[in-house]
Structure 1
Amino acid sequence: MKTDLKSIQTAQPVDSLVRAQLVELLQGGFAPNVILLREFDYKKAGVILDGLHFSAWILLGHIRARQQTLLNFMKHPEQDVNVWPDAHWPENHVPESEQEWYLAIDAYAQELDEMINLVQDPTTDLFAVQPNGKTISWAALTTLHHTGYHIGQLKTIGRQLGVW
């Protein structure tokens, strides 16, 4: 079989471009998620506004639970991981301490870095269909979509509480 040199030359830049764009969006695009979380006033992280069923602390726990599930799939895609289990919503709406708040943000950032490293790794096949019918790129896109949705909620809560 003859190798098409032009296909090889154009495939690499597209692969690099897709990876770079996924990384940018996983980080939060123009509003990096980790920075927003670190800016959020810990003293207001447990406030539940009227009409809502979550605080910033609950949102962070929910974001992390879903991210952990999707990261686990990305690390071990062959294990047929259930990538969309029932949503985890932490029962406690207030972090026990300022340290707990910042440790949770640090853990979120570390897990996000793991995910980003997998996406950036050229040996990671982003588009191979796994036993559960999903791909690594699907997991990355689902993570950025899910996190972006809830970061928007967190930003709204923060504005209502005078954080920003």
Structure 2
Amino acid sequence: MAEVDIPHSLIREHMVELLRGGFAPNVILLREFHYDKAGILLPGLHFSAWILLGHMQARQHTLLQFMKDPLSNLEIWPDAHWPPNHEPPTAHEWNTAIDAFEQEQEEMVQLVQNPSTDLFQVYPNGKTLAWAAMTTLHHNGYHIGQLKTVGRQVGVW
């Protein structure tokens, strides 16, 4: 089987699209989610939209820190952070959390888009910056799907 040479620019473009959520844009869906429904715990679930956002933001933050300074942030999969409270204290805190999530998502996008970022250098933990970006897009995609399902059940969409 012949090896295919895919331009790094195309890989970067695809990663950026998926980091932002692809056909389910993360930040748009979060901003559409009504604050007054962000704390609802549905029967049988251990998470609300607020809990999902906090969990996503914490994992994304950890992976972004690795991407910004890999050698100082080799611990990339600490215990999962799940916020202890299921609802945002105020609408302002809900919106501030979304802003922080978006800002860090865009920082990661900028790193991926930068041609001088070596996405494929292997660090002492065996990981690459490409791995961190793909892990982020996969993790956020999984939880955005949960958020979308919760949102449908509580009448957001």
1:27-74: CA deviation from partner (whole Å, max 9, x where unpaired) = 000111000000001000000000000100000000000000000000
Within 5 Å, give how 1:119-134 maps onto structure 2: 119-134=112-127
Indicate if the aligned counterparts of 1:71 and 1:111 stay in contact, CA closer than 8 A.
yes
Task: State the superposition RMSD in angstroms.
Answer: 1.2
Q: How many corresponding residue pairs?
A: 154
TM-score relative to the length of structure 1: 0.91
Q: Distance in 2 between matches of 1:48 and 1:28?
A: 24
Indicate if the aligned counterparts of 2:65 and 2:73 stay in contact, CA closer than 8 A.
no
Q: Distance in 2 between matches of 1:67 and 1:160?
A: 26
Within 5 Å, give how 1:103-114 maps onto structure 2: 103-114=96-107
Within 5 Å, give how 1:36-47 maps onto structure 2: 36-47=29-40
Q: Distance in 1 between matches of 2:8 and 2:128?
A: 15
The corresponding residue for 1:141 is: 134
The corresponding residue for 2:27 is: 34
Q: Comparing both chains, which one has the higher relative contact order based on Cα–Cα distances under 8 Å and sequence gaps of 6 or more?
A: 2
How far the C-alpha of 1:79 sits from its partner, in A, is 2.1
TM-score relative to the length of structure 2: 0.95
Indicate if the aligned counterparts of 1:73 and 1:83 stay in contact, CA closer than 8 A.
yes
1:75-132: CA deviation from partner (whole Å, max 9, x where unpaired) = 0112252111000000011101000000000000000000000000001000000111
Larger radius of gyration: 1
Q: Given residue 146 of structure 2, which amino acid in structure 1 is its aligned partner?
A: Q
Q: Given residue 116 of structure 1, which amino acid in structure 2 is its aligned partner?
A: V
Q: Please list every run of 5 or more consecutive structure 2 residues that lacks an aligned counterpart in the other structure.
A: none
Within 5 Å, give how 1:14-163 maps onto structure 2: 14-163=7-156
Q: Given residue 69 of structure 2, which amino acid in structure 1 is its aligned partner?
A: H
Q: Please list every run of 5 or more consecutive structure 1 residues that lacks an aligned counterpart in the other structure.
A: 1-9
